[in-house]
Structures are given as structure tokens and as C-alpha cells.
A and B are shown apart, each in its own frame.
Chain A
Amino acid sequence: MENHSFTFNFKSFKIGALFFCSVFLIAFAATHKVIDSIMIGWDSNGNIGRSISRNPLFYKPYDVLFLGDSRSHQGLDPNTFNETFLKLTGKKITSYNAARPGMQSPFFYFIIKDYLLQTKQPPKAVVVNASFYMLWGSVWLKKIYLNYYDPKTWQLKEALADLPVHYTAQWVVNSNIPLYRYRKRINDLSKTLITNPKHFYRDLERTERSEKKFTKRESFGYAARHDERADEKKVARFCVFKKGMERDLYLGYLEQFFDLAQENDFKIFVYGFPWPEKCREEPTFDNVRQYYYDRIKKVAKGNPNIHFIEYPNYWPIENFADPLHVNHTGAQKLTREIARQIYQELSD
């Protein structure tokens, strides 16, 4: 069975180990580009990260940039904004929606600073939503941005100083080694391919659709939810939040993001995202909502470039695609509301 007659030669073992490492590294290097090019379009999280860091459409001089998580991504339509602004002022304006699902304050900072460095021209304003999700948790940050947003050297240097070391390490490794980054996705896909090929194809189609949505030139980054409608019965469970969940790390990055506005002379408009009317019935909801809004206001205190947009925050269910996101009608309503609130500031 086990033949131990061979003379185990440690020198030969070392040569073997060296060969093993070489072959392994060559395999990694050879498959680096291949895997990346295959997996582009097969990974929806990848579409999100790349749609900013590898998107030439984003790195153009715009007057207004929208930033935030999926709620701004699906809630602020640059075309509607530009039209409303034209109607109100008679002047043309350009805007781009750089908000993406799961985006949190560290990436508000990294993305806007990178935009400023690349375009050498600050926007007149950045509009950002004050979502609860922006300030806590780390799942999206790790799963999406530290995997798929290609970092620049300065971003890594700064991350090393401010982010936990293992976050930065993940960002370096995962964003540079596709084989590592895509392991989970390849695993999931191969599993689905064997057990449920129809779901596999549906998954790929969905990913392809999202890729198109993210890169559609005429949408300027906005992802419409069309005429989807939320189910009112499911709203209540989305209106339960707790106070005190915010992370100091995120508040710190929010401050750095706000400081960029002052340093580069542009305005940041923070708006509270609309909620279905049903949420008002939850006894603590409004109180919690106000708590987080106040936390952000506290961070912005003393910074003259930060403005807060106030408007009625509870909207009819017809404006929502799901309890957390507006549909296209809601997005038009929201975009117009914001345009009306800030046009005077931009016209100056």
C-alpha cells in the first residue's frame, strides 16, 4: 500500500516545492486576465464596483453628482434633474448619478476625492442621501467595494491609515487577484449549474441586465425601477430601526467627505430619503430617523458647504418599488423636489 522504499531526499523535495510554487504562481498569473474577462458580466456585485472605478462616463466634468446607496441610485434621475433645472432657471446643467447599492461613507470620500483628482474640476454640488444604512454594518463594504472597486495607490495609503488593517488587506488582495475575488461567485455558479440550471441562466440574465443598467449611457448612472410597486403589507418590518448603531469609522469618513467640499469649494446637499407613510405608524420610527439625521448634522456642524434639504418625508406607497426604494414615478418626484430646493444655490 504505502511504499516507503523511496529515499526521501529533502533537496529534491525543495526542488519539488519550488516547482509547485512556480507552477501555482504561473497558473495564477495566466488565469488572472482570463478569469477577469470571463467573470465580467457574470457577477452583479462586480458590476457595481466597476461601474464607478472603471467607468469613463463618470470621470467627466459634471455640475452635479449624486451619491449614496441604492436608494439614491434608484431614486435620483439626472435627466429629470437637468430638465427641472432648465425649466426653473432657463439654464442647462449636467449631472451624473454615482450612487451605488451598499455605498457607505468611506466610499463617498474615496470616490469624490478620486473624481476631483482625475477631472481637476470640482462639481458645483454633490447630493447625498442620509440613509441609516450608510452609517453601520460592513457587509456591503466588504462584499462589494473592497472586492470590486479598483483602488489607486493613494486610496490604499489612506485606507491603511484610517480603515482597519484587514479591510485594507482585503482591498489589496481581492481587487488585484481575480482568482481570489471570484472564488465565491464561481463556487455559487458551479453549484447552481449542477442543481438548478434554469436558475443559473436566470442568474446570468439578471447579472447581464444589471450590467446594462449600470453602463447605459443615456441613464447617467441612474437605475430606474420603472413601474414596480411595493406591497404595503410588507412595509412595517422595514420600519424598525434602533438608535446607536452608527460606527465611528463611518462618521469619521463622513467628516472627511464633508471637508472635501470645503477644501474644493463645492456644496454638499444632504437629504433624508422618503419613507412609505405606513412607517409613520411605527411608534419609534420617526424618532430614530431624526436621531440619525441629527448625527449627520452634528458631523457637518461648522462646515458652511453642507446643506440639509427638508421636505415632507412620508410618501404614499404608490411611489415605492419596494419599502426601501422608490419606483420611477417616485424617483421623478424626488428628483424634482431636490432640484426645486437647490436650484437657487446652484444658479449663483
Chain B
Amino acid sequence: MYFFSTSFFKFFAIFFALHLIFRYFLKGKIRNILVVGASYYFYSKWDWRFLSLIWISTLVDYYIAKWLDREADPRKRKQFLIISIAVNLGILGFFKYYDFFISNFALLLEGFGFHPNITLLELILPPGISFYTFQTMSYSIDVYRGKIKHEENLLDFACYVAFFPQLIAGPIERAGNLLPQLKNSQSVSLTLTGFALGVRLFCWGLFKKLFVADNLALIADTVFEDPGKFDSLSLLVAVYAFSFQIYCDFSGYSDMARGLGKMMGIELSINFNLPHFSTSVRDFWRRWHITLSTWLRDYIYIPLGGSREGLSRTVYNLVLTMFLCGLWHGAGWNFILWGTFNGVLLAMERVLENHSLTRIWRSFPTFIRILTTFHLIAFGWIIFRSQNMDILGTYLSRLFDPHVIMETVRNFEISVLNDGFRFFAAFGFYLLPLLIIQYLQYRKNDHTVDLHWPAWVQGLAYGCLAFLFWLLSVEDGKQFIYFQF
């Protein structure tokens, strides 16, 4: 049940009507029964069998947090925490990484002349598993660290784990932010204004997903399928297309999730802050998938020592954290390589932080720094998107091969039949509305810049976007990319 499907609209309409009734006529606790019930129903529409995993994760972390708060002995507290982490990572590892590690281990053994007889499980990845396990883990860790108190009410905690707008692909919410809102219905203001803002955000997410992302996917999918068939310009445009596809796909989902939350009076965390306007890789990771980046920072990078233990240790911590970030994205070498690549970039920035070159670099005009950062990040997306090393090799060799570049220049013509030109024109067309709006948001440093416009400008802008969306958004939306993580 995708957010853009008719079945979801029906589901949400019924849910929201009941939500209003529950809120105004019944007590808050009952409201959470509805939210939990709706969330489990929503999840069961993906695959009801995996509901048991959510229940395991919920119960384990609920009771462990309870024991953590009661237990004074640090050794025992640590043991409880380890159990929580082991259960969550165990579930995650079993379903997501078992086949990957086993097959790679077997390959390694084959390198030493052994021929192990291995059995791959070929399990279906439970939807949202990477998101809710990280969410529940953060809860137990925060309770362990004494940052928050454990939640007494199992229903409220279950609501926090399974809250359906962000269950499948985040934002990865901290208990400190979401639980109080779910718990205390009086703190949640359900207003017409909030509802309207939620609808606005949801529609913007829908536009990003079905107009921008899924249309750009036509370019990226075509080229990444067989990069050997395309010229350098097509390969370059396809990388750009994928950069914006993955952004609009994921941030579109986050916007829709946040929009749904707002309609219900709940503020979910901002997950993307105009990442394509970043002036450095570090800046990019502060703006991209913010709830994961901060999770990795708080629960991996800082516990590893962060930047407190010298430059070489900082470099090591950065690369290791980003390596794990890559691994989180999927059980594949491309993801690991992509994460490590970003880690190396971050480490290089850190090493060169006080170098005179960096000072010169910072004096460059902002748009040059934005463009350079964009290209560095985009290079990483080639690794991320390539399904295997052969495709990656072909892609990179053709993208940078001087002969292919010269051939591209020689054969270029302004014609629909010229792949490079066609892809470039389509890319520009589908991206332009997003770029205009995000540029305005960037200039004012305000995601709600449109709300300050005069009414007639708003009407015109929304009308144009709605028109474009109606006419040219894809009819059969693709699965969200981050659902597979």
C-alpha cells in the first residue's frame, strides 16, 4: 500500500475520520489503540507474516528499557543493553545480511582451496526492518544513557515503534521527539491549519515522487541497464538523473510521511534539508537523510571517539561509520563501496580542514562549491546504482574514456534521436519546477517560503504544479527505492 495508491487514500480517509471521532469524543489512550491498529493493518498489507518481527522488537525493547531503569548495577545494565542490540541486529542481520555474508565467506574459502557446501536462505526482506530496528535500538540506548525515561505504557510504546506514516522508510524518530507527542494527546494540536499544511507537504512529496523521481527513473534505468550502449553525455545525464531521482524518491516519501503526521497533529523530524545545495561533503551529510546521519553520529561515530582522539582516529571513525552507513543501505558491495567512498571524502575534508588549499577553496563562489560537491556526491551515486562491478566498470570507463567523449562530441546533434540530447532535455524539463522552488527555499533558508507569497502567486504556482502533475506524473508509480533497505 504505497502512499500514492488509491487503497492508501481510502485507508487514510477512514483512519482520519475515526481519528477525529476518537480525539474529540474519547480519551487519548483509545486514540493510540486506533493508531496502533491502523499501523499494524497498514504493515500487514505489505506482508502480515512480518508483523511478528515488529512485535518482537517492540516487546524486547519495551521490557529491556523497563529493566534498565530499574537496575542500578552498571554491569547488568550493560548486559540488558547488549541483549536489546543483539536481538535487533540479530533480526536485521538474519533477514538482510545472512545470504550476503555466507556467500562471500564461501567465496573467501574457495580462494583458499576449500569448497564449502552452503545453503542460501533467499529470504524476503521485511519492509521497514532497517528503520524500525534502528528506532527501537536508539530508544534502549537513550534509556541506558539516562537521556530519557522508559515508557510505562506498552500501547504508547507500540505506537511509537509502528507509527504508520514513518514505519516503512522513516524518518528514524527518536523516542524523545515522537513518544511524548503520541503519549500526550493534549500536546498535539489538531487544527485546520495544521491539516492544510500537512496536505501541502504530502502533495509536495507526491509531486517529487511521481513527477520528478519516477520520470527521471526512465533515464537512469535505461542507461544503468546497459551503460555500454550509451555515449558519455547520456552517462553523465543519467548520473544527474539518478542523483535527483533518489533524492526526490526518498525525500518525497519523507515529505509525505511528515505531511500525514502534520494532518494528525504530529511533527515528525525533517529528513532532508536541500542537500543538493551543499557546499561540502560534510555539509551534504548534514542535509541528507538527517535522521540516519544523526543516528550514526550519536550511536556509532561519537561512541567510537568521534573527533576527540586525534586526526588519525577521527579519519578511522569517519570511514568506519560511513562503511556501516553503506552496509545499512543494503547487503551488497556497491553499497559498502559507496559508504566507504563517502567516508573517505569526509575524512579528506577533515584532513585538509586547516590546509591553505581549503581556505582558498572556501573563497570560491558558493555556486562553484555547490556544483563541485554535487559532482563528488554524484560520483558516489554511480557506485550506489550499479548493480554489479561489471556495470560499474563499464560505466566509469565509458564516462571518462577520451575516445568515447570525442565520439560523443562529434556525433552530437539537437535531435530527439540523439540519446544525450534527449536525456538532457527530459532531465531539464522534469527537474526545472523542483529546482526553481528549492532555489527559492535555499535563498530564504525556509522550506515554507511559498506560504509567505501573496495568495495569487500561491494560486498560480500551485495551479501550475498541479497541472504538470496531472498531465505528466507517472501513472504507475514505482516502489520507493528506500523500501528495499
| Chain A residues near B (Cβ < 8 Å) | 1-4, 6, 8, 10, 12-13, 15-24, 26-27, 31, 179, 183-184, 186-187, 190-191, 193-195, 197-198, 200
Q: Is the CB of B466 within 8 A of A24?
A: yes
- Of B270, B426, B463, most buried by chain A (CB within 10 Å of CB) is B463
B21 lies within 8 A of chain A by Cβ: no
Closest to B467 in A: A27
A-B pairs, 8 with minimum CB distance: A19-B459, A23-B463, A15-B455, A3-B446, A16-B455, A16-B458, A20-B459, A20-B462
**Residue B321 at the A interface, CB < 8 A?**
no
- Supposing A16-B455, A16-B459, A194-B422 touch, asked if A1 and B474 sit within 8 A by C-beta, the answer is no
The contact string, 1 if C-beta is below 8 Å from chain A, for chain B 111-125, is 000000000000000
Within 8 A of A (CB), among B402-459: 416-417, 422-423, 426, 444-449, 451-452, 455-456, 458-459
Q: B471's contact among A6, A179, A195, by CB below 8 Å, is which?
A: A179
- Given A187-B472, A194-B422; A22-B451 close (CB under 8 Å): no
In the complex the two chains form, what is the Cα distance from A2 to B445 in whole Å?
Answer: 8
Cross-interface CB contact of B475 among A16, A17, A24, A184, cutoff 8 Å: A184
Complex CA–CA separation, A200 to B422 (angstroms) = 13
B130 within 8 A of A: no
Closest to A197 in B: B416
A249 to B270, CA, bound (A): 53
Which residues of chain B have C-beta atoms less than 8 A from A197's C-beta?
416-417, 422
Known: A23-B460, A183-B475, A194-B426. A10 touches B455 (CB 8 A): no
B396 at the binding interface (Cβ < 8 Å) = no
Q: Which of B270, B456, B459 has the most CB of A within 10 A?
A: B459
In the complex, B334 has a CB within 8 A of chain A: no
* Complex CA–CA separation, A102 to B455 (angstroms): 48
The DSSP consensus for interface residues of chain B is: helix
> In the complex, A4 Cα to B197 Cα: how many Å?
11
- Which residues on B sit within 8 Å (CB–CB) of A24? 462-463, 466-467
Asked if B455 and A12 sit within 8 Å, CB to CB, the answer is yes
Contact B448–A19 (Cβ < 8 Å): no
**Interface pair B447/A2, CB less than 8 Å apart:** yes
Residue in A2, A10, A198 whose beta carbon sits within 8 Å of that of B193 in the complex? A10
Known: A19-B455, A195-B222, A197-B417. A187 touches B270 (CB 8 A): no
CB neighbours (8 Å) of A17 from chain B are 459
Q: Is the CB of A6 within 8 A of B452?
A: yes
**Number of A-B residue pairs with CB-CB distance less than 8 Å in the complex they form:** 95
| Residues on the B chain within 8 Å of A23, using CB | 459-460, 462-464
> Taking the nearest CB of chain A, how far is it from the CB of B142, in angstroms?
23
Q: Is the CB of A193 within 8 A of B451?
A: no
Q: Is the CB of B447 within 8 A of A20?
A: no
Determine whether the beta carbon of A22 is less than 8 Å from that of B459: yes
Is B222 a contact of A194 with CB atoms below 8 Å?
yes
Asked if B470 is at the interface of the complex by the 8 Å CB criterion, the answer is: yes
Q: A19-B460, A193-B416 are in contact. Are A179 and B470 (CB under 8 A)?
A: yes
Measured CA separation A323–B405 after assembly (Å): 50
B51: interface (CB < 8 Å): no
Query: Which residues of B are found within 8 Å of A2, using beta-carbon distances?
Result: 270, 446-448
19 contacting pairs across A/B (C-beta < 8 A): A1-B273, A2-B270, A2-B446, A2-B447, A3-B444, A3-B449, A6-B448, A19-B456, A19-B459, A20-B458, A20-B462, A21-B459, A22-B463, A23-B464, A24-B467, A183-B470, A191-B474, A194-B422, A194-B426
**For the complex, what is the distance from the CA of A4 to the CA of B426, rounded to whole Å?**
35
B472 touches A186 (CB 8 A): yes
Q: Which of A1, A16, A21, A194 contacts B219 (CB 8 A)?
A: A194
| Chain B hits for A22, CB < 8 A | 459, 463
B148 CB–A CB distance under 8 Å: no
Supply 20 further A-B pairs (C-beta < 8 A) apart from A16-B455, A23-B459. A1-B447, A2-B447, A2-B448, A3-B444, A3-B449, A16-B459, A16-B462, A19-B456, A22-B463, A23-B460, A23-B463, A26-B463, A183-B470, A183-B475, A187-B474, A187-B475, A191-B218, A194-B215, A194-B423, A195-B218
Residues of A within 8 A of B219 (CB): 194
Is residue B348 contacting chain A, with contact meaning CB distance below 8 A?
no
Given known pairs A184-B475, A194-B218, A195-B222, the reply for A8 and B451 (CB within 8 Å) is yes
Residues of B within 8 A of A179 (CB): 470-471
Contacts of A194 in B (CB 8 A): 215, 218-219, 222, 422-423, 426
Complexed CA–CA distance, A226 and B139 (Å): 74
Contact of A190 among B448, B458, B467, B472 (CB under 8 A): B472
For B466, the closest partner residue in chain A by CB is: A24
